[in-house]
Amino acid sequence: MISPELALPLSLAFPLVGFVAIWLLDKRPNWREAATLATAVVLLALAIVVFQAVGAGARPAYVLFEVVSGLPIAFEAEPLGAMFGLVASGLWLVNSLYSIGYMRGHGEKHQTRFYMCFAIAIAAAMGVAYAANLFTLFIFYEVLTLSTYPLVTHKGDAKARHGGRVYLGVLMATSIGLLLPAIAWTYAIAGSTDFAPGGLLSAHAEAARPVLGLLLALYAFGVGKAALMPVHPWLPNAMVAPTPVSAFLHAVAVVKAGVFSILKIVVYVFGVDFLHETGASAPFVWIAGGSILLASAIAMHKDNLKARLAYSTVSQLSYVTLGAMLAVSAGVMGGALQIAAHALGKMTLFMCAGAIMVAAHKEKVSELRGLGRTMPITFVCFFIGAVSIVGVPPLAGSWPKFFLMLGAADAGQIAMIGVLMLSSLLNVVYLLSIPAVAFLKPAKGADAPLEKEWYAGPLYDGRNALPRDPVKEAPPFCLIPIILTATGAIVLFFFSGALYDYLLPLTETGR
């Protein structure tokens, strides 16, 4: 068994080994994908080692070297980071399986480049998860942005170029334009960028107080990956990427790295109590709430399945931001649980969308009519994922909602309880309508008399009759991961108590 101290740098180094292996195995696809999977398995094992060690109360740390005096590249695992690391590496394994099915099923080009960039991206995500200071976090945050750019523009056509431009433009603009000065400012005030339990800035309250609101704004919008409105446009635009990218990066690694950073900054840089006492975060509660509702409203208008899911992600991410900005322990807990729960749920949804594209070549919600009969497993899983995101027990998504409402009550932001309830309603409308359409409406042009009787809408004219498709699911490499994550969303509901205990030190550190 490796020591958790060693596991930290290894979990960064190992994807890079995988990167080289994938590169060398360019001409032999089977071996190349075996290398990807092997890397993912090892990475997951390493993440579990770290996770267990942190659960036992240890705080494994590793200092690489000092870049600039006072600014080392250093790693230290704490509960939140260990959890994010576990989620990211676990879902990477699932996603690697899925990628194999999807990329082959879809006949994509440049697959080697795809897997190489993925390996870098996961290394960067692990770096973000285990970063011991803002500086290290920023480095890996930027690496994550850059390594995913080739993935977003994978198709290389005009649409992909435009999407990539927005993606890179927004993320770079916010990170360099806002986050970097915020970190430098923090360093100027505190003389360090280390994450400190109880808050780095709360130890320098006098110097920090006058600029606290400004700094918080810089961080909130500077972490563009958290997609707080109005810095969200990169997320819908990133949907030009192949679906595994959307599934993993834009439901798990990239966006969660964003909200994870927000949570971590609020807890370890500002300090929950410090924010609560100064009330600097109150405006951001409203911004996050607005973001939740607005994004949901936009999602309802989207006919493109991936675009709808993207806006749903924007909305769900703001839950985490909201939890952080409530500046009470229940809110932070809700945000942290939301990271794990939403990752499972949304990844299921995205993978389903990809499976539909591979098997039925359909991208629009309106085209899904009747598809539930053709792809029953996919749509059952979609249903589970959607219900989890709406927040219905017994699915994982219900706990974060519960804690967020608790946090809103604690913080005296009663209006936010309303926002959360309204948002759940909107979720029902735009997410559950999809399996509903697929299962309940007949396929377009289907002329089965039974269905004609059952549903005879004004637009249905009964012509262009086609025999009903037999069950035609996506390839098993696509299907198995979907089943895994959907099951995960159910299982997590029952283990949320354990996760709660695990994350408890996060809220206790707030003095």
Partner 1 sequence: MNLMAQLPVLPVVIPFVAGALALLLPKGRAPWAWATFVSWLSFLASALLLREVAATGPVSYHLGDWPPPWGIEYRIDLANAIVLALVSGIAAAVAPFAYESVRAEIDERQSPYFYAAFLICVSGLLGVTATGDAFNIFVFLEISSLSTYALVAMGGRQDRRALTAAFTYLVMGTLGATFFVIGVGLLYHATGTLNLADLHLKLAGQHNRVVEAGFAFILVGIGLKLAMFPMHLWLPNAYAYAPSAVSAFLAATATKVAVYVLVRFFYSVFGLDFAFLGDALTYVLLPLGVAGMFVASLIAVFQHDVKRMLAYSSVGQIGYMLLGLSFGTREGLAAALIHLVNHGLMKGALFLAVACVVYRLGDHRCAAFSGLARRMPVTTWAFVLSGLSLIGVPGTVGFVSKWYLLEASFAAGHAWAAFMIVASSLIAVLYVGRVVELMLLREPPEQGPLSEPVKEAPLSMLIPMWALVAANLYFGLRTEFTAGFAEQAAAALMTVSGGR
> Which of 212, 227, 215 has its CA nearest to residue 274?
212
SS3 73: strand
The span of 69-77, 200-208, 365-373, 448-456 binding partner 1 (CB under 8 A) equals 69-77
| Residue 110 engages partner 1 in binding (rule: CB under 8 A) | no
**187, 350, 379, 382: residue in contact with partner 1 (rule CB under 8 A):** 187
**What is the rounded distance in angstroms from the CA atom of residue 299 to the CA atom of residue 312?**
6
| Residue 202 engages partner 1 in binding (rule: CB under 8 A) | no
The span of 185-193, 256-264, 266-274, 331-339 binding partner 1 (CB under 8 A) equals 185-193
**7, 42, 50, 71: residue in contact with partner 1 (rule CB under 8 A):** 71
| Residue 160 engages partner 1 in binding (rule: CB under 8 A) | yes
| Residue 27 engages partner 1 in binding (rule: CB under 8 A) | no
Bridge partner list, 71: 68
- Give the rounded distance of the alpha carbon of 302 from its chain centre: 20
Burial tier of 390 (Cβ tally within 10 Å: 0-12, 13-18, 19+): buried
Q: Residue 178 or residue 426: which is nearer to partner 1 going by CB?
A: 178
The residues near 184 (Cβ < 8 Å, ≥ 6 apart) are: none
| Residue 185 engages partner 1 in binding (rule: CB under 8 A) | yes
Angle (nearest 5°) at CA 137 between 134 and 141: 135
**165, 204, 209, 444: residue in contact with partner 1 (rule CB under 8 A):** 165
Residues contacting partner 1: total by CB under 8 A: 32
Residue 152 Cβ vs partner 1, minimum distance, rounded to whole Å? 11
Tokens standing for residue 320: 């985490």
In eight-state DSSP terms, residue 393 is T
CA dist list (Å): 292 to 121, 250, 311, 313, 369: 27, 17, 9, 9, 28
> Which of 106, 84, 111, 90 has its CA nearest to residue 28?
111
Tokens standing for residue 350: 């995205």
| Residue 69 engages partner 1 in binding (rule: CB under 8 A) | yes
Residue 75 Cβ vs partner 1, minimum distance, rounded to whole Å? 15
| Residue 168 engages partner 1 in binding (rule: CB under 8 A) | yes
Angle (nearest 5°) at CA 150 between 145 and 156: 140
**173, 282, 417, 483: residue in contact with partner 1 (rule CB under 8 A):** 173
| Residue 23 engages partner 1 in binding (rule: CB under 8 A) | no
Q: Residue 68 or residue 471: which is nearer to partner 1 going by CB?
A: 68
In this structure, are residues 30 and 116 in contact, taking their beta carbons and an 8 Å threshold?
Answer: no
The span of 162-170, 259-267, 300-308, 389-397 binding partner 1 (CB under 8 A) equals 162-170
| Residue 204 engages partner 1 in binding (rule: CB under 8 A) | no
Q: Residue 186 or residue 296: which is nearer to partner 1 going by CB?
A: 186
Position 425, amino acid: L
Residue numbers at the binding site for partner 1 (CB under 8 A): 65, 67-69, 71, 73, 138-139, 142-143, 146, 150, 153, 156, 160-161, 164-165, 168-169, 172-173, 176-178, 180-181, 184-185, 187-188, 211
